[in-house]
Structure 1
């Protein structure tokens, strides 16, 4: 599993990417999807997830819908139209950042 320091800056882009590719998702579903897609290497805690979801909702990037499942209420998050553009921009920026990091971290060619 990667350290929290390493993954911290990527959580919002990860969350936006997953929700933008789905009709709607709830918190636990997001954490399990990330864990599954990354083969357990990225584990998003509730303490990290929900502040991001609440901020994105407050910023108008996500909307919520409460669904009653028996006696429990499940809060689903969906991306807004303006949020779709934000998700694309954030994904593009992150991909560019990854390419830039590869300039520093790629193995150096061995001179012969």
Structure 2
């Protein structure tokens, strides 16, 4: 789907905002949140998600906790203070981009 490509281009902002709203989450929860939040129109694969999570973690925006759940290790991600600030900045940038796109898509040349 074309929508998936657009979302993937904004995946860092999406992940940061989901963590801002939901607290700590593990990878599968994030993929489900994207799918459920888009009413099934968008899917994020693990192949797209985990590099994004690792990039955010390396940038010092996320803290992680590993827990044993049903005999398996599960890694949880949550925003730290720096991540919360970055989430707000990326959300604002994404909203500005959407607003600009909406204006561009409605733009008509003035013929004079």
Q: TM-score, length-normalised on structure 2? A: 0.89
- The reply to whether residue 32 of structure 1 matches residue 32 of structure 2 is yes
Change (3 A) 1:15 1:74: same
**Secondary structure at the residue paired with 1:21?**
helix
Q: TM-score, length-normalised on structure 1? A: 0.89
Change (3 A) 1:35 1:107: farther
**Which runs of at least 4 in structure 1 moved beyond 2 Å after TM superposition?**
1-8
How far did 1:3 drift?
A: 4.5
**Secondary structure at the residue paired with 2:23?**
coil
Superposed counterparts of 1:1-112, under 5 Å: 1-106=1-106
**Secondary structure at the residue paired with 1:40?**
coil
Contact 1:34 1:43 in 2 (8 A): yes
CA distance in 1, matches of 2:88, 2:25: 18
Contact 2:8 2:44 in 1 (8 A): no
How far did 1:67 drift?
A: 0.7
How far did 1:107 drift?
A: 7.5
Give structure 2 stretches of 5+ with no counterpart: none
CA distance in 2, matches of 1:52, 1:65: 17
RMSD: 1.5
CA distance in 2, matches of 1:31, 1:4: 12
CA distance in 2, matches of 1:43, 1:35: 5
